[in-house]
Each structure stands twice: as structure tokens, then as C-alpha cells.
Amino acid sequence: MVFTYLAVTGRSTLGRLRAGRNFINHHSLMSFSSAIDSNFFTVGITGSSGLLGSSLIDELSNADATVNGKPIRIVKLIRANDLGTDTLSEERITSLPWNPSSATPEDVIDPKSLEQMDAIVHLAGENVATGLGPLGFLGIRPWTDKKKDEIMKSRVGPTEKLAKAIAASRTPTSFLSASGVGVYGTDFFGGNEVPAADESMNVSAVGGFLAEVSRKWEAATEGAAGNNNRIVNCRMGVVLSKKGGALQKLFPIFFLGGGGDVGSGKQYFTFISARDAARALVHTLSTPSLEGPVNFCAPEPCTNSEFTKSFGKVLSRPTIIPLPSFAVSLLFGEMGEEMLLGGVRAIPKKLAESGFKFLHPIIETACQ
């Protein structure tokens, strides 16, 4: 039998000037001052080789893409144990080492290069959807204590180091750091009348491992506060793309006719297409009013059953082989309880209010 699983993976005294509902405030002044001597708006990206990082680079590489009226320079931040003598080049797409294991801010990333960066988009972190062992690459192994430790440490420690380096820099920076909608918990199911979560929800006491990871991950960004730095906690839904992540792993299962509901099928599934996620990050870079927690997810979250039917429809395949709850619990333990049987229903209130428009607002278009 082929089992189905879900691999998740104060206002300025200048007043407000409306331009697509983007507001001018001290952050907009910041973004100009940090690149006053540069012809580019420079964006550093960690995790640039991942699904979302690759999608973001594609979006930023668009010939028409600009921020603050400037063409964009992309800097792929590559992990290294030694920064060496590398400095920032003038190429439109370049790379630079960073060392998240360093004990001092000046050794995390070259200070002079950091001063030239208008923004850093921090996407690096251990994949929560894969497990250890021979089938780990499929994301069908339960979390072990070792795996959970890797997930936590890969997010909190490097984020703290990067935040301190940004705080120590002489020029202000927009710091966009990934987080997850798992911060809202996993108790959202169709029919139970629990309202969708937006960024105003108090998440301080939400239970579950993923909620704890997201809280500590976001807390780690606070070290960047001050010096007119802008901090955005990008609470990502499941990023959907046939090039990787959940859809790529599920494709062969559904293509062979093995798709079906997981558990009751009523658990909510909060998603965003890779293209919309990348577009939303670019929108956030150029929208200074967006700060703090921001939900990066489609405006129409669906249930697991709705996702299953939509993906089957896109592939023209039946979806009649379910994965019962008892099997999920037996095979996947805590990971299965949170990621497969649990549900998150979040909505992108801040993005919507800032004027962002989705290309793939519903699950069927996001699966295509």
C-alpha cells in the first residue's frame, strides 16, 4: 500500500504618503541612507540554495525588479568556518562567506561588506520535514531527540549570531528572518469554529515543538534591534512548488494513484506557492511599514481533504487511499501528530493590508 503524507515541510513626523498602501516612515529613510553611496539595493540571502532561496533569487533577478528605484544586487551568503579575505564585489549576483559559529560579531560576516547591504533575508535552517535514517530524505521518519536538537540549534544559534552582527554594523539593515505558521499551534480543524490566526494572536503559551521552535527563532532576531534596523519575522506556510518540498515528494505517490486523506482530512493546511512567497519577500523589502511578525501564506487556507482533492485533480489521478490516524501515530510519533494530523489555519492580514496581491490564492492554482 502506498501511504500519503504531507511533507512540510510610533509613526513618522513626515506623515504618510500612500503608494500602493506602502507608507513612508523612518524605515524608508533608513533604506535610502544605508545605500547612499551605492548604485544597487543590496540583499544578502542565507539558505540561497534551498527551494525558497532559489525562488527568491529568481524573483530578484527579474530585469524589472527594483527596490527604492535601484536595481538589485544579490549576495548569496555561504556558510564557512573562515571568512578569509573575501569582500563584496560589484557583480549583480555574487557570494560572500558567513560564519554562524563565530564567537564575535565581526567574524560572523565581513563588517565592511555588511555595511553595504540594505537587507538580509535569513532562510537557513534544518528541514523540519525530513528525518534521520535510510528513508529520511523522503520525510517519512519520526523526529528523534537528535533531529529535534538539530532543528532547534540550526535556527536559534545562527540567527542570534547574525542579529548581533547586524546590530554592530554602522549602517541600518532590514533583517527578514524566516519563521513558521506552526507558532500558532496545530488545533485548527474544519468544523470546530476556531478563527483563523493572524499576526495579532498571542502565541506565548501555544504548545507543541514547532511552536516552541518558532518562538525561540523569532526571539533570536531581537538582538538586531536598534540603529534603525527593521526586523521582520516571516511566518511561512508550507511552500509549494513542483521543484522541491512537499509537492515534489508527493508527486510520485499521487501520480501512481496512492493519494488520499490523512487522518480525518479536516485538519487545516496553510500554504503558499513558492512564487508568491518570493514575491511577498520582495514586496516586504520595499514596504517599510511591514515589520514584526508577518504571515506568508495564501489568503484561502484549505483542509487536508481539500488539498488532496485539488492535487489529484491537477494530476488527473484518483485520491482514494487514505492514511488513517492510528497509522500516522504509530509510524511517525510526535512528528506525525503535529505535521500530519495537526492543522494550522493562518491568514496574511499584514500582507493584504499592505497591498500585496497573490498570484495563487487558492490551493488548486498553488498546486499547478
Query: 3-class secondary structure for the chain?
Result: CCCCCCCCCCCCCCCCCCECCECCCHHHHHHHHCCCCCCCEEEEEECCCCHHHHHHHHHHCCCCCEECCEEEEEEEEEECCCCCCCCCCCCCEEEEEECCCCCCHHHCCCHHHHHCCCEEEECCCCCCCCCCCCCHHHCCCCCCHHHHHHHHHHHHHHHHHHHHHHHHCCCCCEEEEEEEHHHHCCECECCCCCCCECCCCCCCCCCCHHHHHHHHHHHHHHHHCCCCCEEEEEEECEEEECCEHHHHHHHHHHHCCCCCCECCCCEEECEEEHHHHHHHHHHHHCCCCCCEEEEECCCCCEEHHHHHHHHHHHHCCCCCCCECHHHHHHHHHHHHHHHHHCECCECCHHHHHCCCCCCCCCHHHHHC
**Nearest to 75, CA basis, from 102, 51, 99, 40:** 40
Q: What share of the chain in percent tops pLDDT 90?
A: 75
- Model's pTM, two decimal places? 0.88
pLDDT band at 37 (very low <50, low <70, confident <90, very high): low
pLDDT band at 185 (very low <50, low <70, confident <90, very high): very high
Q: Is the pLDDT of residue 39 over 90?
A: no
Q: How far apart are CA 212 and CA 298, in angstroms?
A: 23
| Mean pLDDT over the full length of the chain | 88
Q: Is the pLDDT of residue 279 over 80?
A: yes
pLDDT band at 84 (very low <50, low <70, confident <90, very high): confident
Go through the chain and tell me how many residues it has: 368
Residue predicted with more confidence, 297 or 38: 297
pLDDT band at 8 (very low <50, low <70, confident <90, very high): very low
Q: Is the pLDDT of residue 165 over 50?
A: yes
- Residue 14 pLDDT: 33
Average pLDDT over residues 256-275: 97
Put residue 213 in one of left, alpha, beta given phi > 0 → left and psi -120 to 50 → alpha. Answer: alpha
- Reported as a single tens digit per residue, the pLDDT across 16-32 is 333 333 333 333 334 43
pLDDT band at 83 (very low <50, low <70, confident <90, very high): confident
C-alpha dihedral sign at 267, 272, 273, 274: negative
Q: Is the pLDDT of residue 313 over 70?
A: yes
Q: Is the pLDDT of residue 309 over 80?
A: yes
Q: Is the pLDDT of residue 140 over 90?
A: no
How many of the other CB atoms lie within 10 Å of CB of 14?
A: 12
- Residue 7 pLDDT: 37
Query: How is residue 259 written as a grid cell?
Result: 493519494
Half-sphere exposure of 180 (CA within 13 A, CB side): 29
pLDDT band at 64 (very low <50, low <70, confident <90, very high): confident
- Residue 130 pLDDT: 63
